[in-house]
C-alpha cells in the first residue's frame, strides 16, 4: 500500500519518483543512517540491496560493495533488522529489497516473505528469478501484500514483456543499458521510445535505472519514465566512508538533492 500511495501522490503533484539504491551493510553500521539521509534529501522510494557473494549482474562498484558487506558477515536477517529500525521513525517511505535468489532459497521462501513483511518491506526484486519460475514466491508475496518488482531490458522481446507484466506489480524496472550496473552512457531518446513501448503492455509504473549519475541525466529520464533509479553513483561515494566518514553520507544526500531539484524543475515547466 505504501508503494501504491507513493505513486498516486507523485502523479497528483506531477512529479516523478526518485529511487536510490544502496547495499545493506555497506558502509558497515551506517545503512539506516544513509536511508534516512536519502529520504531527507528527496528520495521517494528506497531500493535496499542485500549482500551476495556472486552478484553477476552488477558492475565492479556494486560488486565490491557486496564483497565488503559479505566480509562483514551481513545476512538477510541483519537486513530485516535494518528495515525494522528504519521503520521506527519512517513508516511512509516504501522499501524494496533487491538481490539474488540464492540467499532467499537458503532461508526459504515462506520465512523470507514473513520476515520481510514483518520488518516493513513493501516489495522484492529478484535479479535472477525469471517470470516462469516466479509462481511460488509471487503467490507468497501477494498473500502478504508485497509487490514483485520485475526487470525489463533493451533486448526483452514483446512476448517476454507480456509474461513479465503478468507477475509484476509496484513498478517495472527498465534497465536502460545493455551490460552490468554502472556501465556505458545513456541514450535518452532510445530509452524514451522503449519506455513508451513497454506501456502498451501494462498500467504498472515504469522506472528507469542504469547510467543515471547526476541531475541532468535524472531529469532527462524523468521526461518519460515514472521514476528514476540511481545506484552506482551513490554506492561509489559510500565506499569512501572508511576514510572520510560522515561527510560521505552528506555528499550522497547532496547528490539526491541535485537529482530531485533537476527532476522537479523540469516537471514545473
Alpha carbon 232 to chain centroid distance?
11
User: How confident is the prediction for the chain on average, in pLDDT?
Assistant: 94
**28-83 confidence digits (pLDDT tens):** 999 999 999 999 999 999 999 999 999 988 889 999 999 999 999 999 999 999 99
DSSP letters spanning 80-127: HHHHHHHHTT-SSS-EEEEE-HHHHHHH-HHHHHHHHHHHT--EEEET
Does the annotation count 58 as an active-site position? Answer: yes
Residues 257-269 have a mean pLDDT of: 86
pLDDT at 266: 77
pLDDT at 185: 64
How many of the other CB atoms lie within 10 Å of CB of 109? 16
pLDDT at 183: 46
> Residue 181 above 60 pLDDT?
no
**Active-site residue, selected from the candidate residues 8, 26, 44, 47:** 47
**Active-site residue, selected from the candidate residues 26, 44, 58, 226:** 58
How many of the other CB atoms lie within 10 Å of CB of 178? 11
Amino acid at each position: 500500500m505504501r508503494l501504491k500511495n507513493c505513486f498516486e501522490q507523485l502523479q497528483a503533484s506531477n512529479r516523478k519518483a526518485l529511487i536510490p539504491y544502496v547495499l545493506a551493510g555497506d558502509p558497515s553500521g551506517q545503512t539506516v543512517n544513509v536511508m534516512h539521509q536519502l529520504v531527507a534529501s528527496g528520495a521517494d522510494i528506497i531500493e535496499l540491496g542485500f549482500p551476495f557473494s556472486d552478484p553477476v549482474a552488477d558492475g565492479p562498484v556494486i560488486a565490491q560493495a557486496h564483497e565488503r558487506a559479505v566480509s562483514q558477515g551481513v545476512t538477510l536477517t541483519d537486513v530485516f533488522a535494518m528495515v525494522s529500525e528504519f521503520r521506527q521513525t519512517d513508516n511512509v517511505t516504501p522499501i524494496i529489497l533487491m538481490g539474488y535468489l540464492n540467499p532467499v532459497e537458503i532461508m526459504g521462501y515462506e520465512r523470507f516473505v514473513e520476515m520481510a513483511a514483518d520488518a516493513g518491506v513493501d516489495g522484492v526484486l529478484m535479479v535472477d528469478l525469471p517470470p516462469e519460475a516466479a509462481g511460488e514466491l509471487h503467490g507468497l508475496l501477494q498473500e502478504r501484500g508485497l509487490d514483485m518488482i520485475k526487470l525489463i531490458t533493451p533486448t526483452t522481446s514483446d512476448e517476454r514483456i507480456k509474461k513479465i507484466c503478468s507477475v509484476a506489480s509496484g513498478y517495472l524496472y527498465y534497465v536502460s543499458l545493455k551490460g552490468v550496473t554502472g556501465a556505458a552512457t545513456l541514450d535518452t531518446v532510445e530509452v524514451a521510445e522503449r519506455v513508451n513501448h513497454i506501456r502498451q503492455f501494462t498500467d504498472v509504473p515504469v522506472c528507469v535505472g542504469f547510467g543515471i549519475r547526476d541531475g541532468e541525466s535524472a531529469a532527462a529520464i524523468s521526461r518519460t519514465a515514472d521514476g528514476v533509479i540511481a545506484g552506482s553513483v551513490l554506492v561509489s561515494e559510500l565506499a569512501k566512508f572508511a576514510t572520510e566518514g560522515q561527510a560521505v553520507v552528506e555528499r550522497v544526500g547532496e547528490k539526491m538533492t541535485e537529482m530531485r531539484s533537476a527532476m522537479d524543475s523540469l516537471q514545473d515547466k
